[in-house]
Amino acid sequence: MSVLTHRRTSLRVPTRSMHMVERNVMAYRHNWIVIVSGFFEPVLYLLGIGFGLGSLVPAVSTGGHTVSYAVFVAPALMATSAMNGAVYESTSNFFYKLRYAKTFEAVIQTPVGVEDAAMGEVIWAVIRGCLYSIGFVVIMQALGLIASPWGSVLSVLAALLIGFAFAALGTAITTFMRQWQDHEIVTLALQPMFLFSATFFPISVYPPVLQAFVEVTPLYRSIHLIRGLTTGQIDAGLLVDVLYLVLLGLVGLAVASLRLRRRLLK
Amino acid sequence: MALMAGTIHVVEYNALVFRRIWRGSIAVSFFTPLFFLAAMGIGLGSLVNRSSGGVNGVPYLDFLAPGLIAAACMQTGAVEATYPILAKIMWDKTYEAVLATPVTIADLLRGEVVWNTIRMCIVATMFWVVMFLFGVGHSLEALLAIPASILTGLAFATPIMAFTATRRNDSGFAAINRFIIIPLYLLGGTFFPIAKLPLALQAVAWATPLAHGVALTRGVVLGNLTSTEAVMHVLVPLAYFVAGLLIARALLLKRLAK
């Protein structure tokens, strides 16, 4: 009881997150088919949009280079799938644990703290996203959609960072949710990002004001980063993307931890 | 009228539940077509029109918009036939309570199919309005896109309800979405002509109700359907719907009758 009544006001650096990750691995041991089948979705998008629809769009100009439509769209699909995986895990699944399964109420009775639980959930979402990214990069490499082997390795690392940023953001947002219908707001935010962030066509088709707006949204920065790495157009702009995503992730994590503490330690 | 009374009660129950959640649902049904037509129809469409002069002789937006209505009804019809139905069979046990009244299992099934139709009608109508605002389908026949896409959705709804009637947990639903609904959505003729697929896949695509539903909806909007095509594109989804209905009825009887 004394542990619970003694409320700290500053956040502690999470050191016991791996226990939370281990809990999730155990929970999914009998449901691994759900995780494996998630790999097919981005690949279907690549075949349907990249090659099927791509047959109607011969070549696209990006960053001064002209590339085939599949080369253009594949990195965007990879970034989107890293985002979707992280957001799904950190909103729907996390909400269920928070609201119904009361998983965290049990967790914080142990030496694992609120910060560890929040960080552990984010790490788990990142690990899950990482599996899909590796699978996707292997397919891209096999289809000849990546400029160099370095591009493959670096783009998997970039996908990890994207997963971290969106998982932290999703966890933070979920702590504000009260009911399932609130998830439709997430859908309404994700869908335009998915469609308008230079995913399927370059943003040069927009008026300048709209271009500037799109350029500060997180999925645009994610796609810009991965596309730079897979097409081999490496420049200082990629550093901006990395900084942006690191900052977004850290802010999300801090908000999530503070909110979780308020919700759980009462 | 006694035949319909039970059905109407089931529809009324669903409408009462929907009354509490409709705002978010309507917002999604309006913004989804708006975003999709703006991004894919106009943004991506500008690339398609520039490089290959549109698709099958029409601008990409005109090709895409009606196909997306049919695909949206497929998705609504499929989702409404899974989780909500299983919840009422197993988790909330709503049907146990319903069947303690004069409402029969046949009423239940009819009521759920009618309710699913109403949901698809909302989705299709919102989509149609957005399409109209984008300047596609300015003819009276284009209104037929709404029943055509609902027929497409029904061809998925009843077979999936039959599947749901056999389930003990929800793990099969993710598989239906990943291995049937999403592949059909991406490859089934909505975003590009089926003729662009490899031959073997073309045969598979034409065996599914989505390809016919998309062709029917697109045909009535663009006004270029021959009567033979129209009959075939109606009969295939209709056959899936009727077969699904009969199987769902038998399986629900087996599951719920005590």
In this structure, which amino acid lies at residue A210? Answer: L
The pLDDT of residue A194: 92
Question: Hey, are the CB atoms on B191 and A34 less than 8 Å from each other?
Answer: no
Min Cα–Cα distance to chain B from A182, Å: 8
Whether the Cβ atoms of residue A50 and residue A73 lie closer than 8 Å to each other = yes
Q: Does A96 touch chain B (CB under 8 A)?
A: no
Flag whether pLDDT at B153 surpasses 60: yes
* Residue B39, pLDDT above cutoff 50: yes
From the list A62, A4, A96, A21, the residue with the least C-alpha distance to A223 is A62
Q: Is residue A8 part of a domain?
A: no
pTM of the model: 0.87
Q: Would you state the pLDDT for residue B2?
A: 59
What is the residue-averaged pLDDT of chain B?
Answer: 92
Q: Which of B39, B47, B197 sits opposite A195 (nearest CB)?
A: B39
Q: Please report the residues numbered 51 through 70 in chain A whose beta carbons come closer than 8 angstroms to any beta carbon of chain B.
A: 52-53, 55-60
Reference A63, options A166, A202, A188; nearest CA is: A202
**Residue A48 to residue B25: CA distance in whole angstroms:** 28
Task: Assess whether pLDDT exceeds 70 at residue A8.
Answer: no
Rounded CA separation B229/B225 (Å): 6
Residue of higher predicted confidence among A251 and A25: A251
For residue B171, the model assigns a pLDDT of 81
* CB distance A210 to A130 below 8 Å: no
CB contact under 8 A, A205 and B43: yes
For A150-181, the pLDDT digits (tens) are 999 999 999 999 999 999 999 899 989 887 77
Q: What are A64-83's pLDDT values in tens digits?
A: 788 999 999 999 999 998 99
For B28, the token pair is 């999604």
Is there a domain that residue A105 lies in? yes
pLDDT computed for residue B232 by the predictor: 97
Is A106 part of the contact surface with chain B (CB cutoff 8 Å)?
A: no
pLDDT band at A3 (very low <50, low <70, confident <90, very high): very low
- Using only the alpha carbons of chain A, give its radius of gyration: 19
Q: Would you say A60 and A69 are in contact if contact means Cβ atoms under 8 Å apart?
A: yes
| Cross-chain Cβ contact B187/A60 below 8 Å | no
CA–CA distance, A136 with A152 (Å, rounded to integer): 10
Q: How many CB atoms lie within 10 A of CB A204?
A: 10
Enclosing domain of residue B132 = 2-256
Whether the complex's predicted ipTM is more than 0.95 is answered with no
- Over range A205-230, report the average pLDDT: 94
**Beta bridge partners of residue A67, listed in sequence order:** A60
> Which has the higher per-residue pLDDT, B62 or B171?
B62
Q: Determine the residue type at B257.
A: A
What pLDDT, on the 0 to 100 scale, is given for residue B211? 98
**What pLDDT is attached to residue A4?**
46
Domain that holds residue A183: 13-264
Q: pLDDT tens digit string along B169-201?
A: 888 888 899 899 999 999 999 999 999 999 999
Per the structure, the count of domains in chain B is: 1
| DSSP structural state of residue B55 | B
pLDDT for position A1: 39
Q: Is A153 on the interface with B (CB under 8 A)?
A: no
Assigned domain for A191 exists: yes
For residue A81, the chain B residues in CB contact (below 8 A) are none
Give chain A's domain count: 1
Q: A134 to each of A45, A50, A138, A155, A169, how far by Cα in Å?
A: 16, 19, 6, 9, 23
**For residue A83, how many other CB atoms are within 10 A of its CB?**
27
Residue A11 has pLDDT above 80, yes or no: no
Residue B136: how many CB atoms within 10 A of its CB?
23
Q: What is the DSSP letter of A66?
A: E
Residues 6+ apart with CB under 8 A from A6: none
Closest CA to A80 of A191, A183, A201: A191
CB contact under 8 A, A60 and B47: yes
Residues present in chain A in total: 266
Q: How far apart are CA A154 and CA A230, in angstroms?
A: 8
Which of these ranges, A94-98, A136-140, A187-191, A196-200, has the smallest mean pLDDT?
A: A94-98
Question: What is residue B58's DSSP assignment?
Answer: B
Which DSSP letter does residue A182 get? G
10 Å Cβ neighbour count for A187? 15
Q: How confident is the model at residue A10 (pLDDT cuts 50, 70, 90)?
A: low
Q: Do A37 and B28 touch (CB under 8 A)?
A: no
Residue A1 lies in a domain: no
Q: How far apart are CA B185 and CA A53, in angstroms?
A: 12
